[in-house]
Amino acid sequence: MINYELYKVFYWAAKTGSLSKAAKSLFLTQPSVSHAIKQLEDNFGINLFFRNSKGVALTQEGAILYSYIEKSQILISLAEEKMAALKNLDSGELRIGGSDSLFKHYLLPYLEDYHQRFPGIKLHLNHGTTPETISFLKEGRIDLGVVRMPIVDAQLEVMRGIQLQDCFVAGARYAELKDMVLSLEMLLQYPVILFSRNSRVRMAITELFESYGHEIKPEIEVGSVDLLIEFARKGLGISYVTREFVAKELEEGSLFEIQLDIKLPPSQVGFMIMRNMPLSNAASKFIELMK
């Protein structure tokens, strides 16, 4: 197997038509260049150059070899430029998985900041529930996932993000509940609107009610936080949402928080990556911004 450096010397000698110019381009001595070309010719058993008044020129066989080596050198140069661009975050892509609500209400400011800093990085957002996001990560479709914790999986490394507080909210139709403190039994007398069955939020509230001996059966199930908010505003029922995601509606009064006689536990957001797998430079930089 011929050393790549010999091909490199051959390429520059052929490109410049001069052994001395090739030596200068490669920061070598001219005898080193002559020796490298002789090694290559000995390996192939054919002459690649002949001398002329201007320096050296390719033989017919040398010209055929050059037609291949030139293409490889161009590709190698492009690859080196690409690696430099990826290192400097001038190009590349960042693939993140998570729910619509976390993208919109939590990640958006960080994504805006990241895009302003590194406009050459393409952003790809894969929307899905927590189980779907875990699958995306294991299948290599995303670089990192943003999900509700806890996540227990030996293949994943999870880093803590912000803490969120979920709550029940209602609109004007249920105004009589504003100054009341409801028990879980009382709450279940009203139509409840919950997120889809396989979401982490839905699992958490179901488990909480079961721990108190109750089964929560939603009147309506939806697939987005925006629908949870809008349905509650329209008076279709009492929605279970993240308080931070309805801060505007609570402040303007289009929604109000239902007070319960128990304290709802907070939830933790986490960033997950594949354990013992190298992260792209683009993904590493995004995680740095999030910390």
Same domain, 170 and 259: yes
Same domain, 132 and 273: yes
CATH of the domain at 186: 3.40.190.10
Same domain, 109 and 144: yes
Same domain, 69 and 139: no
Same domain, 12 and 57: yes
Structural domain containing residue 197: 166-265
Beta bridge partners of 182: 260
The answer, yes or no, to whether residue 48 has pLDDT greater than 60, is: yes
Pairing of strands 259-260, 144-148: unpaired
**Strands of the chain, DSSP E:** 49-52, 55-58, 93-98, 122-127, 144-148, 156-164, 166-170, 181-182, 192-195, 220-222, 238-242, 256-257, 259-260, 267-274
Same domain, 46 and 182: no
**Confidence band, pLDDT 50/70/90 cuts, at residue 2:** low
The per-residue pLDDT for 130 is: 87
Same domain, 245 and 118: no
Same domain, 134 and 56: no
The answer, yes or no, to whether residue 119 has pLDDT greater than 70, is: yes
64-73, 80-89, 233-242 — most confident range: 233-242
Same domain, 17 and 141: no
Give the count of domains, the chain.
3
Over residues 244-256, the pLDDT tens digits come to 999 999 999 999 9
| Nearest-angstrom CA–CA distance, 263 and 167 | 10
**Confidence band, pLDDT 50/70/90 cuts, at residue 1:** low
Same domain, 109 and 153: yes
Whether 235 and 130 have beta carbons less than 8 Å apart is answered as no
Same domain, 135 and 177: no
| CA R_g for the chain | 32
| Nearest-angstrom CA–CA distance, 182 and 258 | 8
**Confidence band, pLDDT 50/70/90 cuts, at residue 10:** very high
Region of poorest pLDDT, from 125-129, 160-164, 182-186, 198-202: 198-202
Over residues 79-105, the pLDDT tens digits come to 888 788 788 888 889 999 998 889 988
**Residues in the chain, total:** 291
| Nearest-angstrom CA–CA distance, 97 and 84 | 27
Q: Calculate what percentage of the chain has a pLDDT beyond 90.
A: 75
- Domain closes at, from 87, 109, 132: 87
Same domain, 146 and 229: no
